[in-house]
Amino acid sequence: MDLFDRAAERDESGKPLAERMRPRRLEDFVGQEHVLGRDTGLRRAIEADQVPSLIVWGPPGTGKTTLARIVAKRTGAEFVPFSAVLGGVKEIREIVAAARDRRRMHRKRTILFVDEIHRFTKAQQDAFLPHVEDGTITLIGATTENPSFEVNAALLSRCRVVTLRALTEEEVAALLDRAAAAPEGLAGAVSLEPEARAAIARYAYGDARRALNALEVAAAAVRLAGRAAVTRADAEEALQQRTVLYDKAGEEHYNVVSAFIKSMRGSDPDAAVYYLVRMLEGGEEPRFVLRRMVIFASEDVGNADPQALQVAVAALQAVELVGLPEGVLPMSQAAVYLALAPKSNAALTAYGAARRLVRERGPLPVPLKLRNASTKLMEGLGYGGGYRYPHNFEGHYVAEQYLPDALRAERIVTLSDNGLEKTLAARLRALRGEPEPEPEPDEA
C-alpha cells in the first residue's frame, strides 16, 4: 500500500454509510456475543493471535466481512479479499505465491478472505487445501449457505465454523443511533424519530447493512426536503424495496417449508398461513407449495378426513385455473382446512410396514386361491380353487386369508381414533375379530 492508497483509505466521504460505519475493533462489534463475547474461544484466539482458518456462516449484514477485517487488523496479518464469483484457480495460485513470499521475507501472515465461498467449484476449494494445511494462508470464508452442504468435507474439516445470527431489533436500533450521531456517520445532521427507528429496525430483518442503507436513503430525502427529522413515513419510503428473507435455493427455503408442514401437522392454522405467505412473498412457485399440501393431505390427514385430499387437489386445480394473485385465496383456504382437519398418519405407517415386509421377506407366493386360473393348466394346478366371492355372503363379507401364508399373522394397517378413521378403525377391529379397546378411566 503506497501513500496514495493510504490517503484514499482515510477519505471516507464518498463511501456509503454502511461502509463508513463498519467497526474497526472487536469492542465496536455489535451482537454475536455467543461467538465474540469476552469468554468465548474465538475471542481468546483472536487476542492471542492464534486464529485458525474459519468458515463464517450467517445471514446477510451480520458482520462476516467485518469480522474478517478485524481479525486481520488485530493480528497484524495481511488482509487479501477474494471473490468466489470473479476469481479462479489461477488467481488463487498467485495469492498463495505472494503469501509464501510475505511469510518468508517479512514473517507476516496472510488472511485470505473469500466472500461467498459456497460459489466455489470443487476444484477451486481443493486448491486451498495444501496451503491451509501448511499455514501459508489463514482462510476465512464467508457464506450465507449451510457449509455442511456447500463446502467440501475435506476443506470444512480443516476450518472452524463460526455461526453468526441475524441481529435483534434492539441491536439494529443501537447501530442506527450510533450512525445518526457518529462523526463518520450522519454527525447529527438529522434526527431519527422513535417510530422511524423502530420501523427500520424491524424491517431490516436483522441485516445491519440493509438498516444503514435505509437510514442513508431516508436522511438524504429529509435533507433535500429541508427537514431535520426522519419520520416513520420517510422510513417506510426508504424500505419500500425490501424483500422477504427467503432463498428458494438455500437453507431458508427448507426451513420455511418444514415450518409450514409442521404447523399444519400441529393443527396451527395461524402459523400455517403465515409460512404460506412467507413462501409466496419470497417468490416460491405456487405449484411447489400445492404439491406439498397434496402430499400432506394423505400423509398427515388421510382417512381421518378423506375430503382433505379433495380440498388440496381442488386448490391445485383452482390455482392453475385462475393463477396469481387470486390463487392465493384457495391456497390459504386449503392451508386452514388441512391444519384443522383431524390427523392420521396411517397411510404412511401402513406403507412403511408393508415395504419392510417386502424387503425382508422377498416376493412371497400369492395364495393359490387368489390366483387367476386363466388356463386349464393353471386350473389343474389349483389356481383359484376354494376362492369365496364376498358378494355371495351376508354383509358382502367372508372371513378369508389374503396375505401370503408366511405373513398371515401380520398387522400392517393401524388406524387412529380421529375423525372418520375412528369409524373405520371400529370396522377393522370387527373384521379382525379384535375386542374393543378398554375405555380410559375418568380422572378424579
| Residue ranges covered by each domain of the chain | 32-163, 169-238, 251-340, 365-432
Q: Which residues, at least 6 apart from 198, have a Cβ–Cβ distance to it below 8 Å?
A: 169, 173
So what CATH class is 251-340? mainly alpha
So what CATH class is 365-432? mainly alpha
What are the φ/ψ torsions at residue 264 (nearest 5 degrees)? -65, -40
pLDDT of 438 higher than 90: no
pLDDT of residue 150: 82
pLDDT of 437 higher than 80: no
Query: Smallest Cα–Cα separation from 69: which of 116, 19, 32?
Result: 19
**Least confident segment among 96-100, 121-125, 259-263:** 121-125
The confidence band for 212, taking pLDDT boundaries of 50, 70 and 90, is very high
pLDDT of residue 243: 46
pLDDT of residue 2: 47
pLDDT of residue 250: 62
**How far apart (Å, rounded) are the C-alpha atoms in residues 412 and 305?**
20
This prediction has a pTM of 0.63
**Least confident segment among 202-216, 242-256, 419-433:** 242-256
Fold type of domain 169-238? Helicase, Ruva Protein; domain 3 (1.10.8)
pLDDT digit string, tens, across residues 22-49: 999 888 888 889 999 888 999 999 988 8
For residues 190-216, give the mean pLDDT. Answer: 90
Residue 154, helix vs strand vs coil: helix
pLDDT of residue 6: 47
Residues of the chain with pLDDT > 70, as a percent, come to 92
CA angle at 160 for the pair 154 and 166, rounded to the nearest 5°:
120
pLDDT of residue 443: 52
So what CATH class is 32-163? alpha beta
